């Protein structure tokens, strides 16, 4: 197993209130994290990670995290910790994500693996226990993945859990309880919750339609029926269209050449459409027939869906079109309050300063852009004025060239003394 340094908070921290199985904030220098996080070698062209707080942040040191640095690349890195089982205990997985690059398509999720994972060969098909976190691609995909592996198959949550899609840092938390309930939180606020059995298709349905049951032949499910005593009026049947009474044969109509003239037809104002008898309540109506259900013989309750016996690796295994996402403040614990407090002490402290710096950066860029636009407009105005001055000078030069010719004619004209 990879040696753990003095600053590696990866080993379990036991306390009266909680057990912290894994915690990572990247606070121990530029390269120390590389002793804890192992890059996969499964592909030769995985993207490179760099440790940075990004272009804007709440704290230049505390907000440093792993950032994707190359566009259109897969990324794969993982950190190992002492194996544990969440049997009979709450499992909390939490981390922060910042898509400061205005992400267009890419993952922002983590995966939790068993100890059997070969970290050097981790890749997209490596079997994991849990996959959790945001995933964004275009306008259609902006969701939080919550995927659990059950009996060798990955099961996606049936609900749509929306993720944040702005450029700020957000805190994502997954809570898995031994009573088979779960909760998803974003920024320490609940956004979804429920039960594992209801919100995932881990198990067959509890009941199925009785294959032996059939709808009775005399079952009448028509709420209304034709009134047998209603009869069609005698004057009901009239033509839908009639010849236009106001139409006249053209004066130049030649029946030998054009054939017999027939007036055009127009909708018949007396036409009432197809006659149908009026509807009355059906005295034999029994309501909609409901197919009876029976217990599904293939269903077997399982109170251990939530349980994972060998949790030991946290991995980042994802693809990004536009790089720049920063991952930080990882925590795996068995205590919800511990996670809330950790989130408040990390993301909670730096979120407002980060927003402030982001606004200042945006204002600076906006002013620079306005200055460039103003400068460009001034240059264009100067060019237009120069063109106009050039045209005026050209006209003046033309007038000056004509003036001497007029003077020459005056000089050549005979004076009075010569006449």
Half-sphere exposure of 120 (CA within 13 A, CB side): 2
Euclidean distance between CA atoms 48 and 270, whole angstroms: 80
Q: Is 355 annotated as a binding residue?
A: no
Q: Is 62 annotated as a binding residue?
A: yes
* CA nearest neighbour of 19 among 74, 81, 109, 67: 81
SS3 (DSSP) at 280: strand
Euclidean distance between CA atoms 54 and 324, whole angstroms: 8
Q: Is 25 annotated as a binding residue?
A: yes
**Residue 91 phi, psi dihedral angles, 5° rounding:** -115, 125
Query: Which H or E element spans position 386?
Result: helix 347-412
Q: Is 226 annotated as a binding residue?
A: no
Q: Is 23 annotated as a binding residue?
A: no
Q: Is 258 annotated as a binding residue?
A: no
Q: Is 187 annotated as a binding residue?
A: no
Q: Is 180 annotated as a binding residue?
A: no
Q: What is the DSSP track for 85-134?
A: --TTS-EEEEEEEEETT--SEEE--EEEEETT--GGG--TTS--SEEEEE
Euclidean distance between CA atoms 344 and 119, whole angstroms: 31
Q: Is 232 annotated as a binding residue?
A: no
Total length of the chain? 419
Residue numbering of the annotated binding site: 25, 62, 64, 109, 111, 128, 135, 317, 328
Residue numbering of the annotated binding site for an alpha-D-glucoside: 109, 111, 128, 135, 317
Residue numbering of the annotated binding site for Ca(2+): 25, 62, 64, 328
């Amino acid at each position: 197993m990879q040696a753990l340094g003095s600053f590696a908070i990866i080993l379990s921290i036991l306390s009266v209130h909680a057990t912290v199985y894994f915690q990572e904030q990247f606070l121990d220098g530029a390269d120390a994290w590389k002793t804890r996080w192992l890059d996969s070698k499964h592909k030769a062209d995985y993207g490179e990670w760099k440790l940075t707080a990004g272009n804007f942040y709440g704290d230049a040191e505390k907000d440093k995290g792993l950032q994707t640095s190359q566009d259109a690349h897969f990324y794969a890195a993982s950190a190992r910790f002492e194996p544990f089982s969440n049997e009979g205990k709450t499992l909390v997985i939490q981390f922060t994500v910042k898509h400061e690059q205005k992400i267009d398509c890419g993952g922002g999720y983590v995966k939790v693996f068993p100890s059997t994972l070969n970290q050097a060969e981790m890749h997209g098909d490596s079997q994991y226990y849990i996959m959790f976190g945001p995933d964004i691609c275009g306008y259609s995909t902006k969701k939080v993945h919550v995927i659990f592996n059950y009996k060798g198959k990955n099961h996606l949550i049936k609900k749509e859990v929306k993720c944040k899609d702005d450029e700020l840092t957000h805190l994502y938390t997954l809570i898995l309880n031994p009573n088979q309930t779960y909760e998803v939180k974003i920024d320490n606020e609940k956004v979804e919750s429920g039960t594992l059995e209801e919100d995932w298709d881990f198990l067959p349905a509890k009941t199925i339609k009785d294959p032996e049951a059939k709808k009775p032949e005399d079952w009448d499910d028509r709420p209304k029926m034709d009134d047998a005593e209603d009869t069609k009026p005698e004057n009901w049947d009239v033509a839908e269209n009639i010849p236009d009474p106001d139409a006249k044969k053209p004066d130049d109509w030649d029946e030998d050449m054009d054939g017999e003239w027939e007036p055009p037809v127009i909708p018949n104002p007396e036409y009432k459409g197809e006659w149908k008898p009026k509807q009355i309540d059906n005295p034999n109506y029994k309501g909609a027939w409901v197919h009876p259900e029976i217990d599904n013989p293939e269903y077997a309750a399982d109170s251990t869906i939530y349980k994972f016996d060998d949790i030991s690796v946290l991995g980042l295994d994802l693809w990004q079109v536009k790089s720049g996402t920063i991952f930080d403040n990882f925590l795996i614990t068995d205590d919800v309050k511990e996670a809330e407090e950790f989130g408040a002490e990390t993301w909670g402290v730096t979120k407002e300063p980060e927003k402030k710096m982001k606004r200042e950066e945006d204002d600076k860029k906006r002013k620079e852009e306005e200055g460039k636009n103003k400068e460009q407009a001034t240059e264009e105005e100067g060019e237009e004025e120069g063109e106009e001055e050039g045209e005026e000078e050209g006209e003046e030069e033309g007038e000056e060239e004509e003036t001497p010719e007029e003077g020459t004619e005056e000089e050549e004209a005979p004076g009075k003394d010569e006449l």
